[in-house]
Structure 1
Amino acid sequence: MQDEVEQGAPDSTPDSPSPAPNRKLRKFRWARWTTIERDLRREKGPLLAGVDEVGRGPIAGPVVACAVIMPADTRAIAGVDDSKRLTHDQRVRLASKIRERAVAFALGAASVREIDRINIYQASVLAMQRALSRLKVTPDYVVIDGRSMRTLPTPHTAIVHGDARCFSIACASILAKVTRDLLMTRLSKHYPHYIWEHNAGYTTREHVAGLTSYGITPHHRKSFCRISDLLLELQHQTELEDLEQRVLDDVGVPDEEDLDDEMIAAVDLDLDDLSQRLEPEL
């Protein structure tokens, strides 16, 4: 495992960069993609997998990771960026392009029960492991966003702010974000009081209002402080423990294993449908 990478220089240029208000800003945007990936490909091999996860901060829903191998000999897709900097529609459009160009990509998740049992950090590592294990092409090496995960068995380089500096990681962040948002939207149909289709499980005023009025669901993370405090306040612990024995995950996220093929196929169909609806706006 290598040390975290802290420095970088320009590497690739987007296909058709969007207009910028001045030359200085354009130079900054192009300079995001550093030489890190190019150097690692020379040292380790051309099949470099970028890995990122989403869903560490929410108080509800699984943590989802994506591993993606992009071709080494193609230019960056215009518009790709850290998923947090993009709008929903931008992410959906880009997700379709990424999936078309990728050599391989795969998703992995860790359920709410796993998060509560092993903590969010270890659950994030687990989701990444599952995404990597699902890849149909074995990567030569792996790059992940953030700091090195010592419990991740796969040799990797961790890159601080990697989703804004490495093209492969940015692609993974977009696919993971779009997938998790779709999962939370599905869940919201069964639990409409928490507005998950808009807040994706994060703490918003509407989400908290739903918690106060209706209590927590099996998809809320009881190990998180806000939920723990609410449990004590509402005294629902015993009722919820009984409920958890009877309620299955409504979106099919298994507790002890990765996302199943049917679930990923369904997510792919949703992505295709969203992309087609947005196509006229391109």
Structure 2
Amino acid sequence: MAVVSALYIYPVKSLAGFSVASATLGTTGLRWRDKVADRQWVLVNADGRFITQRQLPQLAQIQTELTDQALHLHHAEHGSIAICYDYDVSRPQQVTVWRDNVKGYDEGDLVSQWLADATGKEGLRLVRFGDDSVRPVSTKHLWSGEQSQVAFADGYPILVSNTASLDQFNRFLRTKELTPLSMNRFRANVVVTDWPAWQENQTSELSEQANRYQFALRKPCERCPMITTDQQTGARPEQGLPLKALIEFDSLGNGSGAYFGQNAIISRGIGELIEVGDGLRADS
């Protein structure tokens, strides 16, 4: 039986996240104390298009912290700023995430200036997913009758990864004289252990052992240059080599590209608690 070995929440897309011992399963993914959702905020440019570490790897250096009242952003050289959970509904902002247009709410000029100072990039805006924001998951890879919601994650509310798969890929990297990667390069939400390597690619459902919740694994996660970014420093020490190695490794065995982890929806258990140590039963 697979075991949940780590849980991660990323309040702001492409900024640093943090590990938690437990989280609530919300309609758009993991929630911290049932207050804040994973990827509830996003950075956008002047056109409202989302900005990530793909364009600005230095975003990895901005730490996030959640308190009962506010989201806090921290930078080693530029201090901190707090963003209250209450937001101004008079500042709607359309956000484009890939092909989706999503209604959000701009968090104001002060945080925009702080982001400019921290990143060296002018014109960034912080936008939150509002209480009335809606973004359905594409049904392209869902099964008949399935539906789900997502905030500002790339496309799915949950990303599942497997420690044994990373161990095997790291052995391959060593044969190429490349540096092994830590799991944080892949920015998963749910990390599982005690599972055969790449079993996630042959699994359609992961159910908590007492059937309190279930994840439907629906699409392998295609990786981008973000996996080449050191999540502590924002540097890309080996440029695109880890990504090229993942393409060569061919985890799906069909020559289709660089894949690691599985995108999932929550098919049962909205409102339930997921905890590190939970046992998961895999169904193909």
TM > 0.5 = no
TM-score norm. by structure 1 comes to: 0.28
The structure with more helix, counted as a fraction of residues: 1
Q: Max radius of gyration: which structure? A: 1
TM-score norm. by structure 2 comes to: 0.28
The structure with more strand, counted as a fraction of residues: 2
